[in-house]
Structure 1
Amino acid sequence: MTDVLRYTAFSDDPAGGNPAGVVLDAAGLDEAAMLKIAAELGYSETAFLTAPPEGLGGEPGRAFTVRYFSPKAEVPFCGHATVATAVALGERIGPGELVLATRAGTVPVSVTREDPVTREDPVTREDPVTREDGAGGLRATLTSVEPHTEDLDPADLAEALAALDWPAADLDPAFPPRIAYAGARHLVLGAATRARLADLAYDFDRLEALMLRLDLTTVQLVHRAGPAEFHVRNPFPVGGVVEDPATGAAAAAFGAYARELGLVPDEAVLTLHQGADMGRPGVLTVELRSGDTRVRVGGAGALIP
């Protein structure tokens, strides 16, 4: 019997963030079995760990091969399932550095323990509660593979807008449409208003067809709330999911996109809010470092009982 763990990523509240499946020992599973587990679980992605390839590096017992499956297919990289996996590992082998071999490349992940926090009770939403043991939760920060962006054909933009039922006038001209990559490909579109972003009702089949043709994992819809603060949403029809509640790979791609286009400084910490429109609020922290083109994406995680 395969032990499938359930963790949420980018929130310390099991009811928030993006849930992921985590299989810490997938050595006996083939691709068909992994896909079956992911489909039965129904989360946007499930991560499957096996032994690391020779020469990967990292501390003994802290390096792994990871494969990610949506309910429909394998994907090369998944940020939220990486964070969920790192938190699950951190609870078992302690905070520290991890090295993950993914189809997209080698992904280092740092797991740290946060200071204890006080937040509203998850049931009553009224009385503040803290952990009885006084310990904070775990936080994981991944470092992306080398990112890049590419131009989007005007005909493909027109098709994306038609599938989303967005008039071109609803786009934010400060955010040129681009395809951005930091382990997986995402179409980045800027919404001129928060109301436009909140009103998401798209043609599932039409958008899926375009995304399959362009080899896209999600569509990253973005509204700027401040100099370093953004609200984002991610349709994910190619994974068999209407919307992803918190998307780490897209956050990394967006960080590279924003820096390349001069929308943010070369060195910056960005806050991305995602999932609130779905009732699963999460927070993704995107760190850009001057002199390092890779992007770091971090967030909290929690076991889903």
Structure 2
Amino acid sequence: MITDEVPEAVPESDVLRYTAFATDPGGGNPAGVVLDATGLSAKRMLAVAAGLGYSETAFLVPGGPGEAAGSYTVRYFSPLAEVPFCGHATVASAVALADRVGPGRFVFATRAGEVPVEVDKGADGVLRATLTSVEPHVEEVGDVDVTEALGLLGWSAGELDAALPPRIAYAGARHLVLAVADRDRLARLDYDFDGLAAYMTARELVTLQLVWRAAEHVFHVRNPFPVGGVVEDPATGAAAAAFGAYLREQGAVTAPATLTLHQGEDLGRPGVLTVELREGDRRVRVSGAAVPIE
């Protein structure tokens, strides 16, 4: 167990390393996982996350909603700050638990709310987790805010996809959704790191969800994450859930629907996120594989 009593001696075996939304350790989004963080302060959690350097590390304490078996209280830290919810670290944590106790259902009590996670083993032997988001919502975003964000990205309004207007979407964390009309524009991402970090902090945004629509239910996405001290998140489950809610609210897809999001290709860490929208249920389900990083 990690404690503050030995601040410089964090046992290496206590910090697991998994990549989420990929079956290859070289793909997807790496996450740190501490399966029993009992007694660990927020200060030490942040120090562990900063030392690891991944976009997020999840810290689990056994016992959560109703103290039932399979329940955990979970906190997520980037190298710079705590975030209310992280999808890829949730998937990584659930698969890490399933590696030890077998597939099944877990319930994570997060700062954003209660998040159930189901883990199944496919015919290929790979464990895949499906998280169910908290209640999502979508907000309008003003023209001035959009113009400022575009300037920080080096984009122009004429490069946006008019069919997918800018919005702020939430499914556990806040994300500004900006859709471009051209795949090449998405590939050429180069932005003002400090300026965008300040912009996002002022609006309580966790990432920007930058998207290009390849087909009716297929999207390529990228997620700048300067507020976490990371240039770009390679695969972002929280943003995927928020984006699913956004698409439904905009009438861009009709539930029931299954969406495929490709992320990380431009970083050399390809990952695939599956987003499910069910009829009569506003919550969004996000699925993906996770494997240990050797």
TM-score w.r.t. length of structure 2: 0.95
Which residue in 2 is equivalent to 1:222?
211
> Is 1:139–2:150 an aligned residue pair?
no
2:176 is aligned, of 170, 176, 187, to 187
The answer as to 2:98 corresponding to 1:90 is: yes
SS at match of 1:211: helix
User: 2:27 is paired with a residue of what secondary structure?
Assistant: coil
Tell me which residue corresponds to 1:25.
36
Q: Whole-Å Cα distance in 2 between the matches of residues 269 and 179 of structure 1?
A: 21
Pick aligned residue for 2:85 from 77, 98, 102: 77
**Is 2:86 the partner of 1:64?**
no
SS at match of 2:85: coil
Partner of 2:239: 250
C-alpha displacement of 1:59? 4.7
- Provide Cα deviations, 1:196-245, integer angstroms capped at 9, x if missing partner: 10000000011111100100000000000001000000000000000000
Distance 1:77 1:192 in 2: 29
Q: Match of 2:115?
A: 107
Partner of 2:222: 233
Q: Secondary structure at the match of 1:35?
A: helix
Q: CA deviation at 1:58?
A: 7.5
Alpha carbons 1:51, 1:65 under 8 Å: kept = yes
> Which residue is equivalent to 2:53?
42
Aligned partner letter, 2:79: P
The CA distance in 2 between the partners of 1:52 and 1:272, in whole Å, is: 33
Q: Tell me the secondary structure at the aligned position of residue 46 of structure 2.
A: helix
| Counterpart secondary structure, 1:242 | strand
| Structure 1 residues 24-77: Cα deviation after superposition (integer angstroms, max 9, x where no partner) | 011121010000000000000000001324xx14752x1100000000000000
What is the aligned-residue RMSD (CA, Å)?
0.8
**Equivalent position SS for 1:219:** strand
Letter in 2 for 1:147: P
Write the distance in 1 (CA, Å) between the matches of 2:161 and 2:49. 36
- Tell me what 1:262 maps to: 251
Distance 1:17 1:166 in 2: 26
Q: Say if 2:151 is the partner of 1:162.
A: yes
Q: Secondary structure, in 3 states, of the residue corresponding to 2:231? A: strand
For residues 229-279 of structure 1, the C-alpha deviation after alignment (integer angstroms, 9 at most, x for no partner) is: 000000000000000000000000000000010001121000000000000
CA distance in 1, matches of 2:214, 2:194: 31
User: Does the 8 Å CA contact 1:49/1:67 hold for their aligned counterparts?
Assistant: yes
Query: What amino acid is the match of 2:286?
Result: V
Secondary structure, in 3 states, of the residue corresponding to 1:21?
strand
8 Å Cα contact 1:165-1:202 kept in structure 2: yes
CA distance in 2, matches of 1:52, 1:205: 39
- Whether 2:268 is the aligned partner of 1:279: answer yes
Distance 2:37 2:222 in 1: 31
- Structure 1 residue runs of 4 or more that deviate by more than 6 Å after TM superposition: none
Q: What is the aligned residue count?
A: 283
Maintained 8 Å contact 1:100/1:109: yes
Query: What's the CA shift for 1:192?
Result: 0.7
Measure the CA separation in 2 of the matches of 1:162 and 1:10: 31
Matched-pair contact (CA < 8 Å) for 1:58–1:98? no
C-alpha distance in 1, partners of 2:142/2:131? Answer: 31
- Tell me the TM-score normalized by structure 1: 0.92
- Is the 1:57–1:99 Cα contact (8 Å) retained in structure 2? no
Does residue 13 in structure 1 map to residue 21 in structure 2?
no
% identical aligned pairs: 67
The answer to whether residue 148 in structure 2 is matched with residue 148 in structure 1 is no
Once residues 155 and 30 of structure 1 are traced to their aligned partners in structure 2, the CA distance between those partners, rounded to angstroms, is 40
The letter of the residue matching 1:195 is D
